[in-house]
Structure 1
Amino acid sequence: MTTVAEAQKSIISQAKSFGEETLPLEKALGRVLAQPILADRDYPPFNRSTMDGYAVQAADFLDKKLSQLQLVERIHAGSVGTQEIHSGTCSKIMTGAPVPLGADAVVRVEDTQETSGLVTFNIETIRVGQNIAKQGEDAQSGQEILSNRSVITPQVSGVLAVTGNAQVTVARLPKIGIISTGNEVVSLGTPVQTHQIRDSNAWVVRGFFHSYQVDEISTTLAKDDKAVLQETVAGFLADKDIIILSGGVSKGDADYVPEILQLLGVQQIFHRVRIRPGGPIWFGTTPDGKAVFGLPGNPVSVQVACKVFIEPYLRTCLGLPLLSPLWLPFSGNRTKKTPFDEFFPCELIIHNGQTGVQAVRYNSSGDIAATAKSDGIVLQPAETEQLADNAVVAFYKW
Structure 2
Amino acid sequence: MTTVAEAVQLITAQAKSFGKEKISIDEAYNRVLAQPIIADRDYPPFNRATMDGYAVQAADFLEKGMNSLQVLENLFAGGVATQQVTSGTCIKIMTGAPVPQGADAVIRVEDTRQEGKTVYFTTTASRAGQNIAKQGEDARKNDILIPQNQWIDATVMGGMAVTGYAEVLVEKLPKVAIISTGNEVVQVGQEVQSHQIRDSNTYAIRSFFRHYQIQSPVTILAPDSKTALTEAIQSVLDTNILVLSGGVSKGDADYVPEVLQALGVQQIFHRIQIKPGAPLWFGTLPNGGAVFGLPGNPVSVQVACRLFIEPYLRTCFGTRLREPMLLPFLSQKPKKAKFDEYFPCKIVTEGAISGLVSLRNNSSGDIGATLGSDGIALHPHDTEMLIKDTPVQFFFW
**TM-score category by the smaller chain?**
over 0.9
Corresponding position of 1:266: 265
Partner of 2:245: 246
| Counterpart residue identity of residue 271, structure 2 | R
> SS in structure 1 opposite 2:69?
strand
Q: Which residue of 2 aligns with 1:394?
A: 393
Identity of aligned residues (%): 59
Q: Which runs of 5+ in 2 are unaligned?
A: none
For residues 225-240 of structure 1, what are the structure 2 equivalents within 5 Å? 225-238=225-238, 240=239
Query: Contact (CA 8 Å) 1:56, 1:104: kept in 2 or not?
Result: yes
* 1:57 aligned partner, one-letter code: Q
Report if the CA contact (8 A) 1:174-1:216 is conserved. Answer: no
Using the TM superposition, give the Cα deviation of residue 287 of structure 1 relative to its aligned residue in structure 2, in angstroms. Answer: 3.4
In the other structure, the counterpart of 1:61 is: 61
Amino acid at match of 1:354: I
Contact 2:297/2:364 (<8 A) preserved:
yes
* Structure-1 residue corresponding to 2:339: 340
Unaligned runs of 5+ in 1: none
Q: SS at the partner of 2:235?
A: helix
SS of 1:315's partner is helix
Q: Answer yes or no: is the 8 Å Cα contact 2:67–2:124 preserved in 1.
A: no
Q: Deviations over 1:149-196 (max 9, x none)?
A: 111112211111111111111111111100000100011111100111
Q: Which residue of 2 aligns with 1:14?
A: 14
Match of 1:372 in 2: 371
TM-score normalized with structure 1 length: 0.98
Could you say which residue in structure 2 is the equivalent of 1:329?
A: 328
The alpha-carbon deviation at position 11 of structure 1 amounts to 0.3
The residue matched to 1:313 in structure 2 has which SS? helix
1:213 aligns with 2:182: no
Q: Deviations over 1:297-355 (max 9, x none)?
A: 00000000001111100111111100011111101111112211100011111134221
| SS of 1:169 mapped into structure 2 | strand
Q: Matched residue of 1:209: which SS? A: helix
Instruction: Give how far 1:288 is off.
Output: 2.6
Residue identity opposite 1:282 in structure 2: W
CA–CA distance in 2 between the matches of 1:237 and 1:336?
40
Which residue matches 1:142?
142
Q: Deviations over 1:178-219 (max 9, x none)?
A: 000010001111110011100000000000000111113111
How far does residue 85 in structure 1 lie from its aligned partner after superposition?
Answer: 1.0
* Inter-partner Cα distance in structure 2 for 1:373 and 1:366: 16
| 1:3-152 matches, cutoff 5 A | 3-152=3-152
Instruction: Give the whole-Å Cα distance in 2 for the aligned partners of 1:264 and 1:270.
Output: 17
Give the match for residue 286 of structure 1: 285
SS in 1 for 2:337: coil
Asked if 1 retains the 8 angstrom alpha-carbon contact of 2:61 and 2:124, the reply is no
1:154 paired with 2:154, answer yes
Aligned-pair CA distance for 1:221: 0.6
Q: Hey, what's the Cα distance between the residues in 2 that align with 1:83 and 1:20? A: 51
2-side partners of 1:169 and 1:139: how far apart? Answer: 22
Pairs within 5 Å for 1:174-193: 174-193=174-193
Give distance in 2, aligned partners of 1:27 and 1:286.
30
Q: CA RMSD in A?
A: 0.9
Any idea what the Cα deviations from partners look like across 1:109-147, whole Å, max 9, x if unmatched? Answer: 111111221111111311110000000111111000011
Query: Partner of 1:165 in structure 2?
Result: 165
Following TM superposition, where does structure 1 have runs of at least 4 consecutive aligned residues deviating by more than 2 angstroms? none
Tell me the distance in 1 between the aligned counterparts of 2:392 and 2:273: 19
Amino acid paired to 1:298: N
Would the aligned equivalents of 1:52 and 1:94 in 2 still touch at CA under 8 Å? yes
Counterpart residue number, 2:255: 256
> C-alpha separation between the residues in 2 aligned to 1:47 and 1:205?
51
Give the superposition deviation at 1:373. Answer: 2.3
Query: Which residue in the other structure is 1:303 paired with?
Result: 302
Q: Residue type matched to 1:336 in 2?
A: K
Once residues 232 and 287 of structure 1 are traced to their aligned partners in structure 2, the CA distance between those partners, rounded to angstroms, is 16
Deviates more, 1:276-285 or 1:61-70: 61-70
Q: Tell me what 2:274 maps to.
A: 275
| TM norm structure 2 | 0.99
1:188-207 to structure 2, matched below 5 A, reads: 188-207=188-207
Q: 1:267-310: per-residue Cα shift (whole Å, max 9, x none)?
A: 10000000000000000012331000000000000000001111
Q: Which residue of 2 is the match for residue 354 of structure 1?
A: 353
Q: Secondary structure at 1:371's aligned position in 2? A: coil
Is 1:224–2:220 an aligned residue pair? no
Secondary structure of 1:373 counterpart: coil
Q: What amino acid is aligned across from residue 207 of structure 1 in structure 2?
A: S
Please report how far the alpha carbon of residue 375 of structure 1 lies from its aligned counterpart in structure 2 after TM superposition: 1.2
- Secondary structure at the counterpart of residue 139 of structure 2: coil
